[in-house]
Amino acid sequence: MKPLDQCRLYAFIDEAYRNARPYQDLAKSLCDGGADLIQLRMKDAPPESVLAAAEKIHPITESARVHLIINDHLDIAYQMPHPFVHLGQEDFFDQGHTQVSDLYPEDAPKHLMTGLSTHAPAQAQRAIESGADYVAIGPVFATPTKPTATPVTLDYVRWAAENIRIPWFAIGGIHAGNVDQILEAGARRICVVSDILKASDPQKACTLFKSKLASVT
């Protein structure tokens, strides 16, 4: 798989925006468009549905050497060839965890990659100290994905650019019309959800964001 520090574009297969498109077709479009990571996010879906979707997606991401990240479901992440999970603050720290290694079963056969959501500098610092492989910085702008979340604004992006040394991804309300602002604030990795998934051609939308990222160092 591509080293995490070389990953720039983080895309999603979010059940809220899938619109009944086959998981395999959507995964292939994202991979062909240049996504480096794809998160499977199926809020409120039963675990068996999440596992079934992941099993359809992972052969495509594995072939493309794209990381498949499972949102929330640690046990399902461990069933993938390269286990990778993303957790929110409420799923990690609020559950009493202080170190990512707390998540590993005693007989864990594989290394688990872990990403954590953060919404403020103190949360980012705590996530880094916990051993997270990457942190998400956001939501930068208002987003329909999390309508009750307060935007962290570009100030947090600027802080991250100055202070975070592990891979970090700006997330939240990012679209073609504001991505330049994100990049100017110092982000070099971005998560894009609805602007890609709602596009008539998700592959083309990915390509656009990837070219934007390639224009900055």
Q: Which helix (H) or strand (E) holds 85?
A: strand 84-87
Q: Residue 115: which residues within 8 A CB-CB, separation 6 or more?
A: 69, 84, 85, 86, 87, 132, 133, 134, 135, 136
What's the confidence (pLDDT) of residue 113?
Answer: 94
Determine the Cα angle at 85 with ends 111 and 22, to 5°. Answer: 120
Look at residue 110 and tell me whether its pLDDT is greater than 90. no
Averaged pLDDT score across all residues of the chain? 94
Mean pLDDT of 141-153: 83
Look at the chain and report how many structural domains it folds into: 1
Distance CA 69, CA 26 (A): 15
How much is the average pLDDT of 142-151? 80
What is the model's pLDDT at position 13? 98
The domain that contains 146 carries what CATH number?
3.20.20.70
- The phi and psi torsions of 87 (rounded to 5 degrees) equal -130, 145
Specify the pLDDT at position 217: 80
Which 8-state DSSP code applies to residue 30? H
Nearest to 133 by CA among 150, 147, 115, 112: 115
Segment 154-189, tens digit of pLDDT: 999 999 999 999 999 999 999 999 999 999 999 999
At 145, the pLDDT band (50, 70, 90 cuts) reads: confident
pLDDT attached to residue 195 = 96
CA distance 131 to 9: 22
Q: Quick check: 84 pLDDT over 80?
A: yes
Rg of the chain taking only CA atoms, in angstroms? 16
**How far is the C-alpha of 11 from the C-alpha of 65, rounded, in Å?**
14
At 9-63, the pLDDT tens digits run 999 999 999 999 999 999 999 999 999 999 999 999 999 999 999 999 999 999 9
Q: Are 213 and 8 in contact (CB under 8 A)?
A: yes
pLDDT at residue 181 in the model: 97
User: In which domain, by residue range, is 174 found?
Assistant: 4-214
